[in-house]
Structure formats: C-alpha cells, structure tokens
Amino acid sequence: MSKLEEALEKANRLRNSAAIDDKSRKLDVFQNVEPRKIDNDYIVTLTRPDSPIAEEYRRLKSMLIRETKADFLNTIMITSSVNGEGKTLTAVNLAVTLAQEIDHTILLIDADLRKPMIHECLGIKYKYGLSDYLTQDIDISEVLIKTGIGNMVLLPAGRIVKNPVELLSSEKMKALIKELKQRYMDRYIIVDTPPILSCAEGIAIGSYMDGIVFVVREGQAQKKTIEDALSMIQELNILGLVFNNVSAANLDGHYSPYNYGYKHKEKQ
C-alpha cells in the first residue's frame, strides 16, 4: 500500500470511527497470514492471470458489477445443483478478480461447513472460522483473515459441525451478514455454499443474500436435476448462470473458445 493510500485509509477510518460503535469497528480488524505462493492451478486468476480462462473470470466480474452496482446488491452466493460443479473455484476466482480490480475490501466467505475448501485453495491456515464464530463467543476480528491478495479478506468455514443448516439459518448468521453488508456497503461479499439439491444450507443462505450465481458444469448434472435446483431457488434473485468447463458448441450462441461462460438471467 502506498503512503497516499495509507493516509486515505487512515482518514477514512477516522471519519467513520465517530459514527460506529466498538463492535462494528472490529469488522475492520483482520488476522494476517504469512505471504505465500499460491500454486493451485485452478486459481487461474492468480497462477495464470494472462490466460484466456482468467480473462473469462474478468468478464464474469464485469458483468456482475454491471448487474449489481446500482442497487448495492453486494452479497452474492455461489451455488449449483449438485457437487463438483466448480462453485468453490468460481467463488475464489471471482473474489480474486474483484480484489485485483476494486480498491475496496472483498470478503470471501466459506459457508460450505461440510466440505470447506477455500482455505486449502489459498493455502491458508487458520484458528477460527465461521462455525466457531456462530457457536462460541469469538470476536469477529478473530475470524476475518487478510489473505494478502489485493484487499481480499477470507472468513473461513471453521471446524466441522453436526448442524450446519441450523447454524447458517440462525439469527446470529443473519445478523453477521447484515452487519457486514452495512459495513461494506459498496464492497462485495462472495459466499461459497454446498449444492442446492443435497444440502438445505444453500436455500437458507440464499434467503438473506442479495443475489445468486448458479454454476453448471458440463456433464455433471442432468438437465432435469438443474431444473429442479433452479425451481427450488426461483423466488431468489438469480443474477446469472456460469457455465463451467463447457464446450463451445453448448454455449447457446454465447460463443466462447474458452472453458468458462456466463449467461445473464433474462430480464422479465
């Protein structure tokens, strides 16, 4: 961070500090991780930022910003019908591209409490995460980890729990998202979740998110399965579909020679 950016950030903090109480001020206090090299080939936005696939993520990011900015739709859930469709990779790559471009904090939340993967993708070790925050008296600043990737902050999943649906539908969770959203008004909060059809968490979380990005990986789920999942979340605000690992022939006119495609929900 340059001296100027530091000074601006400090001024901003001072300006805000009069208006916020001690609790919400802690939303700006983070745990730091040691600098490390990320060598996970799937996090293409970091390992191969010049590749066509990274470019597709940047396109996805630009379209999302366009769709959401005017209405402050900044809490976005990534989900899919079944497992292994690329939700986590989409969530991480999207958060990275946002963090690379946008000056504000990007918060990435691993709300897949059954199979948390984001910390592994990013090579981050941590002490406490979301499930710990929701079940214990832990300060929020103890679970927000500064990743060192732009202004990207990770709220990792935490220890495995027996009652993820209950925790993720709890008032404490809703209050946390509300607080984070108010605090990060013009910043994005990206939430990775388990699949809609096999776990109830997705629908619970979706009910308090501003928008949903739905990932479909070619060959992973049957058409009927995808339709079933989409019908379960039809009341929610589906911002668009990401076609992951799709062959050009199946992109429905949205030709892309690359691995990723994105299609907006058609406006009614």
Ligand X SMILES: Nc1ncnc2c1ncn2[C@@H]1O[C@H](COP(=O)(O)OP(=O)(O)OP(=O)(O)O)[C@@H](O)[C@H]1O
The listed partner (Mg ion, ligand X, none) that binds 259, CB under 5 to 8 Å by sort, is ligand X
| Closest CB to Mg ion among residues 88, 151 | 88
x-marked contacts with Mg ion along 62-91 as a string, rule CB under 5 A: -------------------------xx---
| Closest CB to Mg ion among residues 85, 132 | 85
Q: Which residues, other chains included, contact 48 with Cβ-Cβ below 8 Å and sequence gap of 6+? A: 54
Q: Is 226 exposed, middle or buried (0-12, 13-18, 19+ CB in 10 A)?
A: buried
The listed partner (Mg ion, ligand X, none) that binds 80, CB under 5 to 8 Å by sort, is ligand X
CB of 3 to ligand X, least distance (A): 39
Q: Which residues bind ligand X (CB under 6 A)?
A: 42, 80, 83-89, 112, 115, 117, 195, 217, 244-245, 259
| Closest CB to Mg ion among residues 61, 87 | 87
Question: How many other C-beta atoms lie within 10 A of the C-beta of residue 64?
Answer: 24
Q: Does 217 bind Mg ion (CB under 5 A)?
A: no
CB of 129 to Mg ion, least distance (A): 15
Q: Does 105 bind Mg ion (CB under 5 A)?
A: no
Q: Identify whether the C-beta of residue 43 lies closer than 8 Å to the C-beta of residue 117.
A: no
User: Measuring CA to CA, which residue among 167, 124, 166 is closest to residue 144?
Assistant: 124
Q: Identify whether the C-beta of residue 262 lies closer than 8 Å to the C-beta of residue 240.
A: yes
Three-state secondary structure call for residue 96: helix
CB of 115 to ligand X, least distance (A): 5
The listed partner (ligand X, Mg ion, none) that binds 20, CB under 5 to 8 Å by sort, is none
State the Cα–Cα distance between residues 215 and 79, nearest whole angstrom. Answer: 6
| Closest CB to ligand X among residues 63, 117 | 117
Size of the site for Mg ion (CB under 5 A): 2
State the Cα–Cα distance between residues 142 and 31, nearest whole angstrom. Answer: 6
Cross-strand bridge partners of residue 260: 244
Q: Identify whether the C-beta of residue 80 lies closer than 8 Å to the C-beta of residue 193.
A: no
- List contacts with Mg ion (CB under 5 A): 87-88
